[in-house]
Structure 1
Amino acid sequence: MRYFSASIIAIILLFSQGCGPGNNSQAEGSEYTGIIEASGITSYQYGTHTLRTENDFYALKSDSIDLSIYEGERVTVQANTINGYPVDGGPVYLNVTEVRD
């Protein structure tokens, strides 16, 4: 019985490690290059800005950077994808952690 109880506790601990609230991004630190614009009114209603690359379009937010100072500029951003997106036919949602001109 002790072995069974210890096994159950070990399994619960293993599964709980990846399910916490801090685990909200899929790809850590990917780079994207394009032009940042204010998002304005959109059908998908998420993100403060957008990034248009040669082939793709992304919704952006940042917890630490004022993206408005880069509006209209071609930049490279380092960002993490946010789980649960895209929704409502919108783009991939990125949390920007670094911007380079």
Structure 2
Amino acid sequence: MFVRIVKMGFHEDKVDAFLDNFEEVKQNIRNFPGNRFLELYRDKNDPTIFFTYSYWETEADLENYRKSELFIEVWAFTKQLFRQKAEAWSVDKLVSLQ
């Protein structure tokens, strides 16, 4: 399993559109084959910066999602709201304490 982290910066007047759309699609993303976890975070100092954290069983699962109609539609909508280019990282989780 690995973690995908995506940082997105939105135009201030587009934040509500992003949040509304995320509310509509979050369960579909979370229920996509291979997805095990999904969270959305908002920066404490800049309310136009958001991060998604998603856990995937395999890299192939993430790639299948990225090639899916769901992702294509979500990304087409989301990227038009950006004020800066999104950044993304795929990382292996080494330690988790609860």
Q: Normalising to structure 2: TM-score of the pair?
A: 0.26
Structure of greater relative contact order (alpha carbons < 8 Å, 6+ residues apart) = 2
Point out the structure with the larger helix share: 2
Point out the structure with the larger strand share: 1
